[in-house]
């Protein structure tokens, strides 16, 4: 079973990325042959600063490796080291109906946020389809907001297979229902575009200060509280085991437990859970040659697989 996912290097990774996409993808490493890549071609649709793109790409590599990506199991690479995806994107674009792309929420949302409505932004899902199909992926772990893009990929694969013969595996999205949307400080979806994130590897003091700012209702210290409607609890339970989760629920419902206490507990569990990742990240940061070799080696393996699919697709269309 081939598992594949990618993430754009377009800002610092946050807890929404971690619980929505990174942790599920890292857990799937055990279940099959995983491919994970840093989608720097995609990031170009919104990033126009070459130094920043390079730095963010590097940071994403360190973040993933620090959080448990095992390079002996997972093929880890930069998207731009496999230029074959562009040729495949063209072959896919000739069967992609305009209407399919016009219905994509992500394009409309990004334009509404002020990103230029370029052809690249519009054709983004076709490149994403090429990323997925070129490795004959079966499962694509992503957060809920990417589900539509995987459905578009399925439609494109089916259309191509119908017109030219069975070339592509039709993939399935894999979405963690319990963490479908991780809330940010203000209760909206945590997203770098809303300035409501808690960064994975931000400054410890700053992260704590941000946690203390999470929006809650105005119940007083003594009042019993409902964990199910609370943003602090929603984040806490992502880190907690069953015992910790139950204890926090009892505290909420019992009263005499303030949101300040819950926020402190959240800051502590985050700090504790990420301490080993922080240490690992420092080690990796001090060994850039090791990380660079690993990415190059990943790209070589990815390219071999990509070239095989591309050859079949070229043959199928008559090139």
For ligand ADP, the closer of residues 181 and 316 by Cβ is: 181
Q: Which of 9, 125, 143, 171 binds ligand ADP (CB under 6 A)?
A: 143
| HSE value, Cβ hemisphere, 13 Å, CA-based, for 77 | 23
For ligand TRP, the closer of residues 5 and 196 by Cβ is: 5
190 near ligand ADP, rule: CB under 6 A = yes
Task: Give the DSSP letter of residue 166.
Answer: S
146 near ligand ADP, rule: CB under 6 A = yes
d(CA 179, CA 56) in angstroms, rounded, equals: 25
Least CB distance to ligand ADP at residue 192 (A): 4
Least CB distance to ligand ADP at residue 149 (A): 9
For ligand TRP, the closer of residues 150 and 230 by Cβ is: 150
Torsion angles phi and psi, residue 170, rounded to 5: -90, 115
Total site size for ligand ADP, rule CB under 6 A:
17
Which residue number has the CB closest to ligand TRP? 6
Give contact residues for ligand TRP (rule: CB under 6 A): 4-8, 39, 42, 128, 131-132, 140, 142, 146, 149
- Quick one: which of 277, 276, 251 has its CA closest to 263? 251
d(CA 191, CA 116) in angstroms, rounded, equals: 19
Q: From ligand ADP, ligand TRP, none, which one binds at residue 39 (CB under 5 to 8 Å depending on kind)?
A: ligand TRP
- Which residues are within 8 A (CB) of 39 and not within 5 positions of it... i.e. 6 or more apart? 6, 7, 8, 9, 79, 128, 131
Name residue, tokens 């099959």: 32
173 near ligand ADP, rule: CB under 6 A = no
d(CA 201, CA 279) in angstroms, rounded, equals: 11
- Which residues are within 8 A (CB) of 270 and not within 5 positions of it... i.e. 6 or more apart? 15, 198, 207, 211, 239
Q: Are 181 and 13 in contact (CB under 8 A)?
A: no
Q: From ligand TRP, ligand ADP, none, which one binds at residue 193 (CB under 5 to 8 Å depending on kind)?
A: ligand ADP
Residue 254 falls in which region: left (phi positive, over 0), alpha (psi -120 to 50) or beta: alpha
For ligand ADP, the closer of residues 173 and 227 by Cβ is: 173
145 near ligand ADP, rule: CB under 6 A = yes
142 near ligand ADP, rule: CB under 6 A = yes
Q: Which of 4, 17, 58, 121 binds ligand ADP (CB under 6 A)?
A: 17
Least CB distance to ligand TRP at residue 77 (A): 12
Could you tell me which stretch among 94-102, 109-117, 185-193, 224-232 binds ligand ADP (CB under 6 A)?
185-193
- Quick one: which of 41, 45, 183, 189 has its CA closest to 114? 45
For ligand ADP, the closer of residues 138 and 174 by Cβ is: 174
Q: Which two tokens stand for residue 80?
A: 């731009």
Q: Which residues are at the interface with ligand ADP (CB under 6 A)?
A: 7-8, 16-17, 20-21, 142-143, 145-146, 181-182, 189-193
């Amino acid at each position: 079973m081939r598992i594949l996912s990618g993430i754009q290097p377009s800002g610092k990774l946050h807890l929404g990325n971690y619980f929505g996409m990174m942790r599920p993808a890292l857990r799937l490493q055990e279940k099959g042959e995983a491919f994970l890549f840093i989608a720097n071609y995609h990031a170009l649709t919104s990033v126009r600063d070459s130094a920043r793109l390079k730095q963010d790409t590097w940071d994403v590599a360190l973040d993933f490796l620090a959080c448990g990506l095992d390079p002996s199991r997972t093929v880890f690479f930069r998207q731009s080291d496999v230029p074959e995806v562009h040729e495949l994107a063209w072959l896919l674009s000739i069967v992609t109906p305009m209407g399919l792309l016009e219905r994509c929420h992500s394009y409309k949302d990004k334009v509404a946020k002020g990103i230029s409505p370029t052809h690249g932004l519009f054709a983004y899902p076709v490149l994403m389809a090429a990323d997925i199909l070129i490795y004959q992926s079966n499962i694509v772990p992503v957060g809920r907001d990417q589900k539509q893009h995987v459905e578009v990929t399925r439609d494109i694969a089916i259309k191509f297979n119908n017109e030219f013969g069975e070339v592509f595996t039709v993939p399935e999205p894999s979405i963690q229902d319990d963490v479908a949307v991780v809330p940010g400080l203000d209760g909206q979806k945590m997203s770098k575009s809303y300035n409501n994130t808690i960064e994975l590897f931000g400054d410890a003091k700053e992260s704590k200060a941000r946690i203390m700012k999470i929006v809650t209702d105005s119940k007083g210290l003594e009042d019993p509280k409902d964990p199910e409607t609370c943003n602090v609890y929603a984040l806490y339970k992502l880190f907690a085991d069953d015992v910790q989760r139950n204890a926090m629920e009892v505290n909420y419902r019992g009263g005499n437990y303030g949101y300040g206490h819950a926020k402190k507990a959240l800051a502590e569990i985050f700090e504790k859970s990420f301490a080993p990742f922080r240490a690992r990240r420092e080690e990796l940061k001090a060994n850039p040659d090791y990380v660079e070799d690993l990415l190059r080696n990943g790209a070589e393996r990815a390219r071999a697989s990509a070239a095989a699919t591309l050859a079949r697709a070229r043959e199928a269309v008559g090139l």
